[in-house]
Structure 1
Amino acid sequence: MKRMLSALPASAAMALALTGSAVAGDWYPYPVEVWDPPFNMESPRKTMDYVPLEKAAEKWDICVSFPHMKDAYWLGVDYGITEEAKRLGVKANVVEAGGYTELNTQISQIEDCVSAGADAVVIGAISFDGLNNLVKEIRSKDIPVIDVINGMSSSELSAKSLVSFGEMGAKAGEFLAKVHPAGGKAAKVAWFPGPAGAGWVEAGNTGFQSAIADSSVELVDTKYGDTGKEAQAKLVEDALEAYPDLNYIVGTAVTAEAAVPILRARGLTDQVKIVSYYYTPGVDRGIARGQILAAPTDSTVIQGRIAVDQAVRILEGKGYQKHVGPALYVVTQENHGKFDPASTLAPNGFSPIFSVD
């Protein structure tokens, strides 16, 4: 596999990711983890240095499906995918289903994309299991299917560009457990993992709960819900009403963003602290302003870029990694000044791009 991967020590990978030196100008090389055997998050991993193709040999047509574009997290994925499509010289057609309740819409949109002549499909899945029949059908036509960000259970996928959301949740939990070790005063936490049934949410929930198991963190409530800001704000309000002695709100980036003005309005910013388990511009601002304590980043933009590169490599019969994701790290108020957001966030003022010709 020409120039694609070379070993990179974990410490170097962490430093490279945090300083952002890999994303100024050309985004690569970028520190990643490779699962072997693939498609099993429990598999052994190697930390390596990802280098994509310089250009595609043909102007391939890539269909990309997202659950929604309601928050800036998916804007980051859109930015990564469309920028990499431009850089490689391929087409991209991006569709979004409108939310995590819209599985049938996502399936229909992807079917339409394939019928229109897509050479490959990249899917940010609404459901862990709910698209498996569709994946099987697409693969029967010898069309590559790349699983990006959220995760699917199908064994027939061509490749995965994603991280362990179990570890994302665990990193948020570990942050709290370090502040509140076993034997200390209980810290009461309300936890907002996201929409029930999504693969990334179930993984994040398991990781978070495992990480706080042997600490003085007391999980008083778990509230599932769509990642629209209105839905998450309602859940936060409900938790604050039910638990007036709450110490932490921990959950999705949308939860964290929604919680900031609610806590300010209620005069609770000193009592209730906020931790997110993934990263968005709102979380970035919150950490910079001292309103949010910390959040792990999964280098969302890079995941999108890698998914496009995987699709092109497969179409062109070139070597590729079947299961790869950027190395995770936690951004805190202390190290925020060293964090380059280009790996994770779309530029300020970026609007969704649905077509690259």
Structure 2
Amino acid sequence: MSIASRYLTATALVAAFATTPALAQDWFPYEVEVWDPPFDMASPRTTTDYTPLEKAKEAYEICVSFPHMKDAYWLGVDYGVTEEAKRQGVKLQVVEAGGYTELQKQISQIEDCVAAGADAVIIGAISYDGLNNLVAEIRGKDIPVIDVINGMSSPELSAKSLVSFGEMGSKTGAYLAELHPAGSDAVKVAWFPGPAGAGWVEAGNTGFQEAIKDSAVEVVETKYGDTGKEAQSALIEDTLGAHPDLDYVVGTAVTAEAAIPILRSRGLTDQIKVLSYYYTPGVHQGIRRGQILAAPTDSTVIQGRIAVDQAVRILEGEDYLKHVGPAIFVVTSESVNDFDTSSTLAPDGFRPVFRVE
């Protein structure tokens, strides 16, 4: 029996015999998808309920690196990794590079973490290929490296806790294509996939474009850019100037959030609709208010929690799933009030946590 099979069997037994009240008070078991063979997003997937370890045997030192903490998406990941570190009793250091242009800073920060004695490293990568040499160097020291959220191409990774951003883009495109099928009146879309070169962006772009290709949806402009609000606002303003007859603005959560006041100020709220291809508190609020049509969720908090559990399992020689991510689903105005936000959003008032002792 493979490690994955043994893990799935153990998880099923835990889920079957654990007391319901205890589970109801925590985040698990949580429905996830497992890729096998791992590290290939095209691999077949199976669905299971993920149950983490109850507690780590030692207070391991885990280093977590994020591209930035400029939007609430990464705040949700921060909440996930730091809360799971507290629950399992491990130490955790979070560093953030400041933006998707800061690859060298991210590399330097991770090197400093490792030099300071990290037992495991969790990376939300700025670049799909740009950290591969660093991953090889860290793995050469027998230190586990977990790929969280964004995706890296290194075959030397220890595990991945992430979803297919191609599927995130695809689900967004499919939602739009269903509204405007082939043969209906054409609609014009401006598409803002995020920072060029990031693995999740390239995957999201491919998924979105594939999903709309046989529909009445026409992408009249594609603009890449950092996921800071100022950068996305500038891209939206430029696009509206060039395409006053747009029907949709579709893109990152920051794009969607930034579009709302811009469209309002230009009197275009009724003309141009907004879609996001991932989820944040601002997107949640926008959907509830009818300002954003829909967005898929990748259960950001859960991805962070699973990455910490993977790191602890590897350090303790326990069975673990090498490539796992929460099941993706789309939240709309019809379903938003039934959506459990604790899987995806940090609690109201949560501030970034950079250190867990």
Same fold by TM-score, threshold 0.5 exceeded?
A: yes
CA deviation map 1:83-111 (0-9, x unaligned)? 00000000000000000000000000000
Q: Secondary structure at the match of 1:196?
A: coil
Structure 1 segments, 4+ long, off by >2 Å, are 1-7, 21-25
Residue in 1 that maps onto 2:16: none
Residue 23 to residue 300, structure 1, CA distance change in 2 (3 Å)? farther
Residue in 2 that maps onto 1:315: 315
Residue in 1 that maps onto 2:111: 111
Q: State which of 5, 23, 34 in structure 1 corresponds to 2:11.
A: 5
Separation (CA, whole Å) in 2 of partners of 1:24 and 1:135: 37
Separation (CA, whole Å) in 2 of partners of 1:22 and 1:172: 35
Residue in 2 that maps onto 1:333: 333
Q: How does 1:210-225 map to 2 (within 5 A)?
A: 210-225=210-225
Tell whether 2:162 aligns with 1:162: yes
The residue identity in structure 2 corresponding to 1:335 is S
TM-score, length basis structure 2:
0.95
Residue 79 to residue 283, structure 1, CA distance change in 2 (3 Å)? same
Q: How does 1:12-51 map to 2 (within 5 A)?
A: 25-51=25-51
Tell whether 2:64 aligns with 1:58: no
Residue in 1 that maps onto 2:17: none
CA deviation map 1:38-64 (0-9, x unaligned)? 000000000110000000011000000
Question: Is the 8 Å Cα contact of residues 4 and 51 (structure 1) preserved in structure 2?
Answer: no
Q: Secondary structure at the match of 2:227?
A: coil
Residue in 1 that maps onto 2:138: 138
Task: Give me the CA root mean square deviation.
Answer: 1.4
Question: Is the 8 Å Cα contact of residues 169 and 208 (structure 1) preserved in structure 2?
Answer: yes
Question: Is the 8 Å Cα contact of residues 4 and 50 (structure 1) preserved in structure 2?
Answer: no
Q: How does 1:165-314 map to 2 (within 5 A)?
A: 165-314=165-314
Residue 24 to residue 336, structure 1, CA distance change in 2 (3 Å)? farther
Q: Secondary structure at the match of 1:278?
A: coil
Question: Is the 8 Å Cα contact of residues 161 and 325 (structure 1) preserved in structure 2?
Answer: yes
Residue 196 to residue 4, structure 1, CA distance change in 2 (3 Å)? farther
Question: Is the 8 Å Cα contact of residues 23 and 343 (structure 1) preserved in structure 2?
Answer: no
Q: Tell me the percent identity.
A: 77
CA deviation map 1:128-179 (0-9, x unaligned)? 0000000000000000000000000000000000000000000110000000
Q: What are the ranges of 5 or more consecutive residues in structure 1 without an aligned counterpart? A: 8-20
Question: Is the 8 Å Cα contact of residues 73 and 345 (structure 1) preserved in structure 2?
Answer: yes
Separation (CA, whole Å) in 1 of partners of 2:237 and 2:31: 39
Tell whether 2:76 aligns with 1:70: no
Separation (CA, whole Å) in 2 of partners of 1:331 and 1:25: 24
TM-score, length basis structure 1:
0.95
The residue identity in structure 2 corresponding to 1:6 is A
Q: Secondary structure at the match of 1:95?
A: strand
